[in-house]
Amino acid sequence: MSVKQRAAKLLTEVREQVPLVHNITNYVTVNDVANAVLSIGASPIMADDVEEAADITSISQALVINIGTLNKRTIDSMISAGKKANEFGLPVVLDPVGAGASNLRNETTKAIIEQVKISILRGNLSEVSFVAGLDVATKGVDSAEADEENDAVEVAKTVAKRLNCVTAITGAVDIISDGTSVVKIANGHKMLSKVTGTGCMTSALVGAFAGVSKDYLTAAAAGVASMGIAGEMAYEKAGNIGTGSFHIAIIDALSNLDGKTLEEMAKFEEE
């Protein structure tokens, strides 16, 4: 069975099993993240206080850590939740938003990676290049043009091998790797970059798929492809209206996405 076929099957399983996905995410996109998780068929919960983060993780099927609006209050919560996820054998998805842009983000990313076993790392090329140990020119939370010269496949493989995880680099062509196998995904639309939170939503979708399968390569590919396909469907429906309508149409598309459509529309290249 191909990765595409397995991804389609996973979408059906998400809708049937309704995994609880704990998101410690950023306040700019938290509502969109919750709606994306609901739309794909999973159940979101957001608990970022250190007094309950680990407890909530213990009753969840996956943990997604997103450092988008980083503050010192939640760093301990992220690590506490991550350790609890490791203890329970739950998947941990890390989205190192803006890694390379500030010392706090850099040190937090390193601290999480050092103390928590990451299952899937999802970010843009600049962010993942930082994790790979390369010099980066991170532009806020967006991938910097200078970093586009980095070989995304090699960066993904390097991080996957170093952290013993699956790495997903999203961009014009998405790269998913477990250090050996590589899946390239050509879905998506450039308008997705004009709506804040599509990266955060993608990481949460990856968490939803990881919540029903230990096949993290397929889970990452399914989550990334779901957002790409939703972007294409949303553009077709509302792209000519404006970014606000396009934004809502992404959620509509995710809510209507099924395994058959995913398999038909996914543009995968497996290596």
Q: What is the per-residue pLDDT for 176?
A: 98
Q: What is the per-residue pLDDT for 32?
A: 97
- N- to C-terminal Cα distance for the chain? 14
Task: Report the half-sphere exposure of 236 (CA within 13 A, side-chain side).
Answer: 9
Q: Report the binding-site residues for substrate.
A: 46, 197
CB 80 within 8 A of CB 99: no
Q: Is pTM, for the whole model, over 0.75?
A: yes
Q: Report the binding-site residues for ATP.
A: 122, 170
Give a three-class secondary structure readout of 79-129: HHHHHHHHHHCCCEEEECCCCCCCHHHHHHHHHHHHHCCCCEEEECHHHHH
Q: Report the binding-site residues.
A: 46, 122, 170, 197
Q: What is the per-residue pLDDT for 144?
A: 45
Q: What is the per-residue pLDDT for 158?
A: 94
Q: What is the per-residue pLDDT for 94?
A: 98
Could you give all domains of the chain from N- to C-terminal order, each with its CATH number? Answer: 3-270 (3.40.1190.20)
Q: What is the per-residue pLDDT for 136?
A: 58
Ordered mean pLDDT values, 10 residues apiece, the chain (271 residues): 96 98 96 98 97 98 96 95 98 95 94 98 94 68 52 95 97 96 97 95 98 98 98 96 97 97 96 84
C-alpha–C-alpha distance, residues 39 and 25, integer Å: 18
Q: What is the per-residue pLDDT for 140?
A: 47
Q: Within a 10 A sphere around the Cβ of 154, how many other Cβ atoms?
A: 12
C-alpha–C-alpha distance, residues 14 and 254, integer Å: 13
